[in-house]
Structure 1
């Protein structure tokens, strides 16, 4: 009975989200929340003195000028890159504002701000660490385990890529469990939950206030966590299909390097396919087919979100209000 109730609740979450009037997304940052619409972005931060500071700005997608970047199977990679850039910029700003203090003269002091070069370096470092954790290590571990088990087929078998995907998910889950023990990350997970609750309130066309937001779930199907899970499932199918078709010339570690580089080159197309699957979920006829791919992401979010405090909800709601206000401002079109 509990399982049926949970399944029904998850279905209602998916349906409510996919009927949203405007696609609004967000991200939890240090002591705050970033909210972004199609053309505007707002970051609300809870400062050390208890006040809320909001930074507003126009947002212009790369595809606004280069229309080919909006093409199906290309736009997904663009969205992913933009999310990384926005995320690092928002985290940098939130760190600066959250750590701001008062000096001996009663004047406000700022934490050091990152330069564009530092932001680019941080993004590249994040990509490198991500590729190592979720591509190189799972590949090597899958190869090692299949040799121990004496399974045939190697990297050209579906079993290899299914095991590879399973290891990716295990690494991801354990990584979340590990960092979730840190006090600052626990606070971040609270803001993550507040972000989702605020967005649900908006999607339900209710007044954006703490009382209304409290009643909603901390799990949201359009969260980046859900997208990551779709990417994992898609990668299993793509790798199992493409890798056997390629003739690798090397042997030993050399051929292993060739295969890993091939997988890296396939990540952008995989992100594009995963994005199109999430887009298909917006269509009534496709929802029941897309839902099974979304549900695992919702379950993983039970680890990356927590029930927020009223103070955290207040910050998320303020960020969303300011972003929506800019979205409705015709002068920024």
Structure 2
């Protein structure tokens, strides 16, 4: 098995694959045609070398993945607007935004979406667990146990959240594309030709999955925050926000190591995340695998010669 440093993301009726500074989004349009959008992305680490260092690179990767994720989700959604909506004249608010921001409107929308996502995530996974843990703080002997309760609540909220969204029909299709993304990368790592038949044989689980990363972030936050002794609610909240970049950076390094290592320790650490992918992935059909292949080919065409041979 030959690990590759390629990551991906499922989108609406499609898959994004990223290889170094290139990413490609393949989407199956309503008319069944597969359209591919390939772009170059220059990481901020090319300008500030600090973000090439361990931990710091994970902090940056977390932010940049949010930005790219919002862009490609917006791109894929454009193909599935209701036909009537396309024919309607833009409303007053739409015209106002276009007048104010002009050609930069798409960037503004993506930026707003990223900020809103971060605010909602902080509310759900930081403020809510913190508030609930405050209800039992008088019954616990020390701050470490309060932080442990806070962390356990965060894990429960995370698991319940994944379970709820996994029941949504539209999300289930996205999770099928998520499975197609993993199976395609697994096939590539096993150095097999990227065909639907070959890819179907491979697992829909992968150690470097974003689900694994998020779970490690949640678990790592318990370990880091248990050693910080602050008493007031708002100080505890501030500490959690300030530690989030560090936790994300540490978690990124763990995910990178899991992707390279075949050790027993790595297998044990990866196991909970692989189990969790039972919720966030589904077995894809052949047409969904074709989309994943198209996306993967898009980021391999300029790669090593042996990769070119495997994609046919």
TM over 0.5: yes
User: Which residue, out of 261, 268, 273, partners 2:250?
Assistant: 273
Contact 1:136-1:260 within 8 A present in 2 as well: yes
Q: Does 1:123 align with 2:95?
A: no
SS of the counterpart of 1:27? strand
**Aligned CA-pair RMSD:** 2.4
Deviation at 1:259, TM superposition (A): 1.2
SS of the counterpart of 2:284? coil
User: Which residue, out of 140, 143, 146, partners 1:151?
Assistant: 140
- Unaligned 5+ segments in structure 1 are 1-15, 106-111, 249-254
Per-residue displacement from partner, 1:266-304 (whole Å, max 9, x unpaired)?
1001111112222333565x8433333321111111001
In 1, distance between residues paired with 2:49 and 2:288? 38
Per-residue displacement from partner, 1:104-130 (whole Å, max 9, x unpaired)?
99xxxxxx9961111101000000000
In 2, distance between residues paired with 1:97 and 1:221? 31
Q: Does 1:308 align with 2:288?
A: no
Deviation at 1:323, TM superposition (A): 1.2
Q: Does 1:322 align with 2:298?
A: yes
Contact 1:161-1:240 within 8 A present in 2 as well: yes
Q: Determine the structure 2 residue equivalent to 1:61.
A: 43
User: Which residue, out of 182, 190, 194, partners 1:204?
Assistant: 190
In 2, distance between residues paired with 1:133 and 1:160? 18
Per-residue displacement from partner, 1:231-260 (whole Å, max 9, x unpaired)?
12211111011x21x5x6xxxxxx311210
Q: How do residues 130-149 of structure 1 correspond to structure 2 at under 5 angstroms?
A: 130-147=121-138
Task: Classify 1:319/1:257 alpha carbon distance in 2 versus 1 (closer, same or farther; 3 Å).
Answer: same
Deviation at 1:146, TM superposition (A): 4.5
Q: Determine the structure 1 residue equivalent to 2:168.
A: 182
Q: How do residues 38-117 of structure 1 correspond to structure 2 at under 5 angstroms?
A: 38-99=20-81, 115-117=106-108
- Unaligned 5+ segments in structure 2 are 88-97, 306-312
Q: Determine the structure 2 residue equivalent to 1:195.
A: 181
Per-residue displacement from partner, 1:167-193 (whole Å, max 9, x unpaired)?
112111211221222221111111111
Deviation at 1:328, TM superposition (A): 5.1
Q: How do residues 225-236 of structure 1 correspond to structure 2 at under 5 angstroms?
A: 225-236=211-222
In 2, distance between residues paired with 1:167 and 1:121? 29
May I ask how many residue pairs the two structures share in their alignment?
290
